Structure 1
Amino acid sequence: MTTLAEFIIIAGADNHPPMLEKSLYDSWKIRMELYIENRENGRMILNSLQNGPLVWPTVVEEDGTTRTKKYEELSVAEKLQADCDLKATNIVLQGLPLDVYAIVNHHKVAKEIWE
């Protein structure tokens, strides 16, 4: 008879990113990259982590002022990248122990936390 824990291992449950152990950062970084690549849109999430988030496009208003586009105004591809940027930050923060999280939780950009 298979236990629940064994079933989860067999099924390949991976709903939580690997947790950072401070003395094993290089190992964690590799495991985290593999974890991210295995997610839906993983390559876009990893790109956000390594290269920074989408630079939101701007629009020129009728009065000549320039403003950043609202999320609703983004193209489908831009919305997907913006969502992946948010997922990247969320995944990295979930993989940090509480004492490290407390140091970096003010960052909203995954690349800043990663570095």
Structure 2
Amino acid sequence: MGRIKGRISKYRKTLQNDEVWEEARRKVKIRDDHQCRICGSKIGLEVHHITYYVDGSSIRGNELNHLKWLITVCNNDHKKIHKDLNHPLNPKNKFKQNGETYKGIS
């Protein structure tokens, strides 16, 4: 069963009220100049996990030590990233780029 439009996923719910995640999001948005790193939009911004694992260990809850694996994107580009397994920011792409070195594709 797919995600119901408008209903927050269980994963996203776990991020709510998470102080570590909120601080990581804030730092990433500042680094990325509060704009989508793909299209430059300043509307509908989200912070995307480029990967969830580093050296076989989950970064979940420890994002402040792995800011390079997070990037600011607009909600439209966030959807595109997850639909395209070859996108350089897709967590399943084994040739993914990190948020510090990613130059954009637009």
TM score, norm. by length of structure 1:
0.24
Structure possessing the higher radius of gyration over alpha carbons:
1
Normalised by the length of structure 2, the TM-score is 0.25
Higher strand share: 2
